[in-house]
Structures are given as structure tokens and as C-alpha cells.
Amino acid sequence: MKIIEKIKKLFEPKIAYAHCDIPCGIYDPHLAQVAAHTVVRMGMLIDELTAKMNANPNPSVEDRRDFVHKLSRYTEIKEHHAEIAKHEVRILWGDYFKPEHVQKYSELHDLVWKVMKAGSKAKQEANLKTAEELLESVEKIAEIFWKTKNIEPVKRKSFYITERTLVYPKL
């Protein structure tokens, strides 16, 4: 029995501390921000498409078909990227943030909850305001993330067509 116990100990799995369950230690909130920007952009495109369709009092069959096709595509991308934003934040929440981070940044738990709720709501609705709320919460998490690494976060206007901001580490 002692030999079996020693063999078990030898091959006992180690706890992994990384987003992909391989201890690479690579975490970054950037993907969540890009996904949230995509949700915002799809909201913008849906608003533009709807305004264009509403401006046409008598759309042709081709115009209606084009509207439905584009709306379907924009909606699919919006929902997919809202889920990516939620997924990336769940990784940070479950694998990166530690109890001492939550203790120091008491709003962290609420922010993660807001991302989950805003991401779900962004999937359910075609509402630019909801998409912007998702982005805002993701950016706040990104700011906290960089602070936990003792790196000052910087919020700057993005180079994306959304013309919203991105949070970067000040290096």
C-alpha cells in the first residue's frame, strides 16, 4: 500500500493557474474590450440600417430582403461578441482575480455581475445603450486588472470606428 501511495503522490495532478488550464499565466482584458466594441459597432449598424429602411416608405422586395439579411448578420455578430466579452471576463474572474483583489477593489464583484447582465441584455436586444453599458463595465474591469499588476491603466480614444475608448497598460 505504501508503494501505491508513493506512486499516486508522484503522479498527482498539479493545480493549474491560467486561463486555458495550462500554467502559462497569460491574462489580458483586451479581448473582452474588442468584443464589447464589436457589440457597440453592431448596434450602430443596426440603428443605421433601421433608419435607412424606415426612411423608405415603399421598399422593394430586394430592399426588404437586403434588410433582413443584414439585420440577421449584424444580430448574429452582436450576440456572438457579447458572449465573447462575457467569456473573457469569466476567465479573469474565475482564474485571474484573487480574494485580495476583490478585497482591495470592492466594486469588482458588482462589475463582473454587470458585464454578465449587460452581455446577456445585449444579446436579447438591439439597443446601443446596452452595448455601451457592456463596454463601460468591461473597461472598468480592465482598469482594475492593470492596477492589480501595479501598472497604471490609461484610457484613450480607440482607433476603432466606434470612436469609443480602450483601456491600455501604461508601459
pLDDT in tens, the chain (171 residues): 677 677 666 666 655 444 555 657 789 999 999 999 999 999 999 999 999 999 999 999 999 999 999 999 999 999 999 999 999 999 999 999 999 999 999 999 999 999 999 999 999 999 999 999 999 999 999 999 999 999 999 999 999 999 999 999 998
What's the N-to-C CA distance of the chain in angstroms? 55
Q: Which of 33, 30, 38 is nearest to 74 (CA)?
A: 38
Cα(152)–Cα(137) distance, rounded to whole angstroms? 18
CATH 1.20.120.400 is the classification of domain 28-169: yes
Q: Smallest Cα–Cα separation from 29: which of 119, 153, 125?
A: 153
Give the pLDDT of residue 53.
Answer: 95
pLDDT in tens, 24-54: 778 999 999 999 999 999 999 999 999 999 9
Q: Report domain extents, the chain.
A: 28-169
